[in-house]
């Protein structure tokens, strides 16, 4: 299947969208899509069934009065897993009874089509168009569009739906990217996930399951089926999915129906809080979850599952911050992988940059990365060019995971930097934020880099442990000097609420005692002993005097606790990330002690999992590994540019004054 240029399908989508001009005045612009989309689906279904319409009606007539279930006979007559038993069509509704005829027509579809239009709220649309006296006109306009599969194949139809959704999102200020993924990115991700299994997929009798928990309009499910059928037309593909948005779900279900898929496996609902495939495992898993979307609405259900089920549930590895649920979808996919003894699974998921590095050692994000890398699930991460998506121009990455890695990939992770003009073409006309696209040649180049485990400036191989580190806590001694005669410190003491709670006589006595001391002490214990020798104070007042009269002083003696141990200065506390491949003491001696000889490691801070000193963390600093130093421009060149700009500004000012 060749990748179509993004511009090639937009003319049909623009023509369909132009019908919205009929709605101007009677409907808000933000409502256009809610009318255009279901009518497009209806017309598509009508065109698909057009050739077998008479055969279905004859089959219905032949079994009239029979008590035998008609569904199998009617599906066989239609040639699809759905049918319509009405002799109506969009161009036969009439001008007088358009509303009732259209309602009867839609109700005459088989039962598995009914909830498609229910999720579009199509009855409400019919009522409003009828009230505005536009129903007949709109039906006629859609009847004039030929969406038969012989004219517009399933792939092109998917692109048309996505372009319509993008236009709808633009007109209603919604996020188009939450509904679908550009097909060039879908094709690349699918190719990366399947390429290592090409030999297995060509064998006779192949049966494979594909799952997308953020199905959108079904792009990943369609692309995976097309890919496998290119290799083996007789392969059987079972598509599973779940989608939150009702309209996207309706389009996905209609698309699956037309392609002969079992639409009962496509579910509506929130995947994170209401997994509707709870016991299923899949061969291939693909997803483009929404970027940076918070999961606060479903927080209770997810936290409960994490605490109660642990690794028996989906989120045992950890929970990311509530502001971004991307890694929750990744954990969800991992939980759906087949056991390696049963063939294992492969995952392709599209994420933004945040999951690579957000969260320090011990955080939910770091623990999730730790689980993925220590379980050796991650095969590769591919950085895509920017401006590839309809709703954002940010950096995006494809993660490829497997629990049955090839021998050469065990313990390794491949990073591919495809974020350059070498890997994309610029579009003649932008589609939202999408200004670039991948051709078939670009996809082939990236897949070849991945498949060959190339080692060059754009593809690098690392050990899984290369991304791990131990965060050790570095302490330095608390050193305080005391200044009992300092006017500023005495003023602060007099204004302190703890001091003001004392009676006047007590306050005066403390101030007199301080005036009788030396002007400076370099040892806390000496300072306190002299105070105690002159009068008895409560521990709270002693603590107050230390806090206000004392100050940090590198020339002072170390402060000791009751056990005679050096106390740490919390203000000077720091941390160091020691690579897992290094011994922490060797690292500390080399990197820290030469600069702060009195520092030490807090050995009480240990990792909960391995009980060793230092908290284990994982991050994948992708850009750092591909950074290329570019020397700054010569100062003379910069000065010349500034002189040129200054001259232009002066000329413009002269024109204004003249």
Say whether both 231 and 344 belong to one domain: yes
Q: Is residue 73 part of a domain?
A: yes
Residue 379: phi and psi, rounded to 5, are -95, -50
CB atoms closer than 10 angstroms to residue 166: 25
Say whether both 103 and 227 belong to one domain: no
Say whether both 186 and 96 belong to one domain: no
Q: Is residue 640 part of a domain?
A: no
Say whether both 32 and 181 belong to one domain: no
Q: Which residues contact 314 (CB under 8 A, 6 or more apart)?
A: 275, 305, 331, 332, 334, 335
DSSP 495-555: H-HHHHTS-HHHHHHHHHHHHTS-S-BS-HHHHHHHHHHH----HHHHHHHHHHHEEE-TT
pLDDT above 90 (res 592): yes
The domain boundary, picked from 526, 552, 578, lies at 552
Q: Is residue 313 classed as helix, strand or coil in its secondary structure?
A: coil
The DSSP 8-state label assigned to residue 240 in this structure reads E
As for how many domains the chain has, the answer is: 3
Report how far Cα 612 is from the mean position of its chain's Cα atoms.
Answer: 33
- The residue count of the chain comes to 658
Say whether both 158 and 215 belong to one domain: no
CB 329 within 8 A of CB 390: no
The pLDDT of residue 174 is 53
Q: Is residue 617 part of a domain?
A: no
pLDDT above 60 (res 204): yes
The pLDDT of residue 183 is 85
The pLDDT of residue 176 is 42
The pLDDT of residue 156 is 84
Q: Is residue 591 part of a domain?
A: no
Say whether both 135 and 235 belong to one domain: no
Say whether both 146 and 286 belong to one domain: no
Q: Is residue 145 part of a domain?
A: yes
pLDDT above 80 (res 179): no
The domain boundary, picked from 500, 526, 552, lies at 552
Residue 266: phi and psi, rounded to 5, are -100, 115
Q: Each residue of 488-523: pLDDT tens digit?
A: 999 999 999 999 999 999 999 999 999 999 999 999
425 Rama class: left (phi>0) / alpha (psi -120 to 50) / beta: beta
The domain boundary, picked from 172, 207, 238, lies at 172
Residue 4: pLDDT band (50, 70, 90) is: very low
Please write down the HEC assignment for all residues of 440-473. HHHHHHHHHHHHCCCCCCCEEEEEHHHHEEEEEE
Q: Which residues contact 470 (CB under 8 A, 6 or more apart)?
A: 361, 577, 578, 580, 584, 607, 612, 613, 614, 615, 616, 617
Q: Each residue of 618-651: pLDDT tens digit?
A: 999 999 999 887 888 888 888 888 988 998 898 8
Say whether both 312 and 420 belong to one domain: yes
Helix then strand then coil, in percent of the chain rounded to 5, is 50, 15, 35
What is the enclosing helix (H) or strand (E) of 398? strand 396-402
Say whether both 336 and 378 belong to one domain: yes
> pLDDT averaged over the chain?
91
Q: Is residue 277 part of a domain?
A: yes
Lowest mean pLDDT among 296-300, 306-310, 430-434: 430-434
The pLDDT of residue 172 is 60
DSSP 564-589: SPBPB-GGG-EEEEEETTS-HHHHHH
pLDDT above 90 (res 259): no
The pLDDT of residue 7 is 46
Pairing between strand 615-618 and 468-475? Answer: antiparallel
C-alpha distances in Å from residue 147, one per residue of 7, 46, 93, 220: 18, 9, 19, 22
Residue 3: pLDDT band (50, 70, 90) is: very low
The pLDDT of residue 608 is 93
Residue 494's domain comprises 480-552
Q: State how far the Cα of 632 lies from the Cα of 627, in Å rounded to an integer.
A: 15
Say whether both 33 and 181 belong to one domain: no
pLDDT above 90 (res 332): yes
The pLDDT of residue 173 is 53
Q: Is residue 652 part of a domain?
A: no
Say whether both 463 and 543 belong to one domain: no
The pLDDT of residue 77 is 94
Residue 320: pLDDT band (50, 70, 90) is: very high
CB 221 within 8 A of CB 212: yes
Q: State how far the Cα of 357 lies from the Cα of 378, in Å rounded to an integer.
A: 15
CATH number at residue 397: 3.40.50.150
Ranges of H-type helices in 154-298: 154-172, 183-194, 198-201, 219-231, 246-258
The pLDDT of residue 1 is 45
Q: Each residue of 97-129: pLDDT tens digit?
A: 999 999 999 999 999 998 899 999 999 999 999
Both tokens assigned to 226: 């097309």
The most distant pair of C-alpha atoms in the chain lies apart, rounded to whole Å, by 116
Q: Is residue 318 part of a domain?
A: yes
* Higher-pLDDT residue of 608, 432: 608
pLDDT (mean) for 454-481:
96
Both tokens assigned to 575: 């941390």
Say whether both 191 and 48 belong to one domain: no
Q: Each residue of 551-582: pLDDT tens digit?
A: 999 999 999 998 899 999 999 999 999 999 99
pLDDT above 50 (res 5): no
């Amino acid at each position: 299947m060749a990748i179509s240029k993004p511009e090639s399908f937009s003319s049909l989508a623009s023509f369909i969208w132009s019908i919205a001009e009929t709605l101007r005045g009677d409907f808000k612009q933000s409502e256009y899509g809610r009318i255009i989309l279901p009518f497009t689906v209806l017309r598509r279904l009508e065109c698909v069934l057009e050739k077998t319409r008479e055969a279905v009606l004859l089959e219905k007539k032949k079994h009239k009065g029979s008590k035998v279930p008609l569904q199998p006979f009617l599906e066989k007559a239609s040639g699809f897993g759905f049918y319509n038993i009405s002799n109506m069509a969009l161009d036969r509704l009439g001008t007088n009874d358009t509303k009732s005829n259209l309602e009867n027509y839609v109700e005459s579809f088989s039962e598995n089509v009914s909830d498609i239009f229910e999720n579009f709220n199509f009855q409400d649309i019919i009522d409003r168009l009828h009230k505005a006296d536009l129903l007949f006109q709109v039906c006629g306009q859609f009847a004039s569009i030929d969406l038969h599969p012989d004219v517009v194949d399933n792939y092109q139809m998917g692109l048309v739906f996505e372009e319509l959704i993008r236009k709808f999102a633009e007109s209603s200020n919604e996020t188009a990217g939450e509904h679908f993924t550009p097909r060039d990115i879908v094709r690349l991700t699918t190719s990366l996930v399947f390429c290592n299994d090409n030999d297995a997929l060509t064998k006779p009798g192949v049966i494979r399951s594909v799952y997308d928990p953020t199905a959108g309009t079904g792009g990943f499910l369609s692309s995976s089926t097309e890919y496998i059928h290119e290799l083996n037309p007789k392969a059987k593909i079972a598509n599973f999915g779940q989608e939150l948005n009702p309209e996207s779900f309706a389009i996905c279900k209609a698309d699956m129906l037309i392609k002969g898929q079992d639409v009962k496996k496509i579910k509506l609902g929130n995947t994170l809080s209401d997994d509707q495939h709870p016991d299923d495992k899949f061969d291939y898993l693909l997803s483009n979850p929404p970027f940076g979307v918070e999961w606060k609405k479903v927080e209770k259900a997810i936290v409960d599952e994490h605490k109660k089920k642990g690794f028996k549930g989906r989120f045992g590895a950890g929970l990311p911050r509530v502001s971004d649920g991307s890694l929750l979808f990744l954990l969800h996919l991992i939980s759906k992988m087949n056991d390696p003894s049963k063939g294992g699974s492969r995952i392709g998921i599209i994420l933004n940059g945040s999951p690579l590095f957000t969260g320090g050692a011990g955080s939910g994000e770091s623990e999730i990365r730790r689980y993925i890398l220590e379980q050796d699930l991650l095969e590769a991460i591919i950085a895509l060019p920017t401006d590839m998506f309809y709703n954002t121009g940010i950096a995006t990455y494809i993660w490829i995971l497997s629990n049955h890695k090839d021998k050469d990939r065990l313990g390794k992770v491949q990073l591919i930097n495809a974020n350059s003009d070498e890997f994309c073409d610029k579009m003649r006309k932008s589609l939202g934020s999408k200004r670039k696209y991948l051709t078939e040649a670009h996809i082939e180049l990236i897949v070849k880099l991945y498949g060959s485990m190339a080692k060059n400036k754009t593809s690098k191989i690392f050990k899984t442990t290369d991304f791990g580190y131990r965060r050790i806590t570095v302490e330095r001694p608390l050193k305080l000097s005391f200044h009992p005669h300092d006017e500023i410190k005495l003023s602060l003491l007099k204004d302190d609420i703890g001091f003001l709670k004392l009676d006047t006589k007590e306050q005066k006595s403390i101030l007199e005692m301080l005036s009788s001391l030396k002007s400076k002490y370099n040892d806390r214990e000496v300072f306190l002993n002299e105070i105690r020798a002159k009068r008895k104070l409560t521990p709270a007042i002693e603590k107050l005097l230390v806090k206000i009269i004392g100050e940090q002083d590198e020339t002072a003696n170390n402060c000791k606790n009751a056990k005679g141990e050096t106390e740490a200065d919390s203000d000077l506390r720091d941390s160091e990330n020691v690579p897992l491949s290094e011994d922490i003491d060797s690292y500390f001696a080399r990197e820290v002690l030469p600069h702060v000889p009195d520092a030490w490691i807090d050995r009480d801070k240990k990792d909960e999992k391995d009980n060793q000193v230092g908290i284990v963390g994982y991050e994948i600093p992708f850009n750092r590994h591909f950074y290329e130093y570019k020397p700054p421009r010569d100062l003379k060149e910069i000065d010349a540019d500034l002189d040129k700009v200054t001259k232009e500004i002066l000329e413009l000012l002269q024109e204004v004054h003249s």
